[in-house]
Structures are given as structure tokens and as C-alpha cells.
A and B are shown apart, each in its own frame.
Chain A
Amino acid sequence: EPEVTQTPSHQVTQMGQEVILRCVPISNHLYFYWYRQILGQKVEFLVSFYNNEISEKSEIFDDQFSVERPDGSNFTLKIRSTKLEDSAMYFCASRQDGDYGYTFGSGTRLTVV
């Protein structure tokens, strides 16, 4: 079964540093998402991406965040200057056109120290 692949699985970074989280969505999917989950809390929407542009973003997705699909296969989330409160599990998800179901990646645990 096709999978959404995320790297790295765990990233530790110093506060104020930039991080890039990487995702490879399923190849024929057209809709891409980033969600985050702070430890012990619910999964929260960050941003959706379609046709090479952001479709929707949440209040969490401020100017410190950006997304890119640089080469037609990777889908990246960049946090420019990390804060302690950015520590969370970040999940990438993708979806096929005409399909209701989302496929989630295995996540990147980001720890900001």
C-alpha cells in the first residue's frame, strides 16, 4: 500500500534555529496538508496546499512558517525561527482528487530546546 514518507523521524533544534521538515506524498495525490499534535493533545490543522499554492492556513501558521513543493515530489514545512512552543509531532498528509480519505505520514517529532 502506498505511504506518505516523512523525514526526519525526530529532530532536536535550538530555539531560534530554522528547521525543515520533509514529506514525500503519495505520487498521484493532489492535495497536501501539514498538521501538528502537541504531546497529549488533539491533531491541529496547519496548512493545505494544492496546485502549487497554499489553499488555506490556520492561525497557527504565522509568518514563521512556510511550505514548498520544490521538485514535484517533496513537500516541505519550514519553521524560520523555532520557539519552545513549536515542539510537537508534525504530520504530513495527502489526498487524491475525488477521494475523501487522507493518508497520514508517520510524523516528525520536533523538540525545541
Chain B
Amino acid sequence: GENVEQHPSTLSVQEGDSAVIKCTYSDSASNYFPWYKQELGKRPQLIIDIRSNVGEKKDQRIAVTLNKTAKHFSLHITETQPEDSAVYFCAASTYFGNEKLTFGTGTRLTIIP
């Protein structure tokens, strides 16, 4: 089955700086890669996703890049703000209708004011 590794487990950055979180996956059939933000005690919230037919996607301060050959994808947050502090999870799925998400182990991002 799919295995998703995520690094780093914790990340502290100064407000205004950029943050990068990286994930690798094992199943070359995976073709959908969402990123979730989870605040303490809350549900995972989808912040951005990418499908395997594109290499990069951007939404304002958030971007995701995908390297299918190397089987890794990354989340980039620019101009970080205190409200970006949360746990971020990457995930992978093989979309053939009913496929589950396999999550990474999470990154606790702390933005230092």
C-alpha cells in the first residue's frame, strides 16, 4: 500500500519568511496530492491540492510542487503570518473512484511574530 513520509515534523519561521514542507510517496499510481491544515481540536481543512498532470499550482501565498519522477511534493507558504501556525498534513490518493487518502505524519508550523 501507499506510504507517505513528511518532513520536517516541526518548523519555526519568522513572520514574513517562507516555509517549505516536503513529502514523499511510494505508490507510483498515486495521482492526487492534497494538503490539509489542522488547528488544535479541529477538522483537517483542505488548503491546496494538485493532480499528477501538473507540476505546480499556486493560490495566493500557498503553492504546491510535484515531482512525479522522484515521487515527492512540497508545500510552500510565502510571507508567513501568525495565523499560518497549525499542523499541516500532506496526503496521497489514487483516484479511481473510491480511493482513500494516505496521510503523512504532519508538520507543526509555528510562526514567530
Residues of A within 8 A of B43 (CB): 91, 104-107
Residues of A within 8 A of B46 (CB): 101-102
Residues of B within 8 A of A33 (CB): 100
Binds A, one of B14-22, B55-63, B64-72, B101-109: B101-109
Is there an interface contact between A45 and B49, defined as CB atoms closer than 8 Å?
Answer: no
Is there an interface contact between A42 and B104, defined as CB atoms closer than 8 Å?
Answer: yes
Residues of A within 8 A of B25 (CB): none
Given contacts A101-B34, A104-B43, are A31 and B98 in contact (CB under 8 A)?
A: yes
Residue of A nearest to B4 (CB): A42
Residues of A within 8 A of B97 (CB): 31, 50, 97
- Shortest beta-carbon distance, B81 to chain A, in Å? 23
- Shortest beta-carbon distance, B101 to chain A, in Å? 6
- Shortest beta-carbon distance, A104 to chain B, in Å? 4
CA distance A50 to B99 in the complex (A): 11
CA distance A100 to B92 in the complex (A): 11
Is there an interface contact between B101 and A45, defined as CB atoms closer than 8 Å?
Answer: yes
Given contacts A42-B106, A43-B44, are A102 and B101 in contact (CB under 8 A)?
A: yes
Residues of B within 8 A of A106 (CB): 42-43
Top 10 nearest A-B pairs (CB, nearest first) are A45-B100, A104-B43, A43-B103, A55-B98, A42-B103, A42-B105, A50-B98, A106-B43, A100-B32, A31-B98
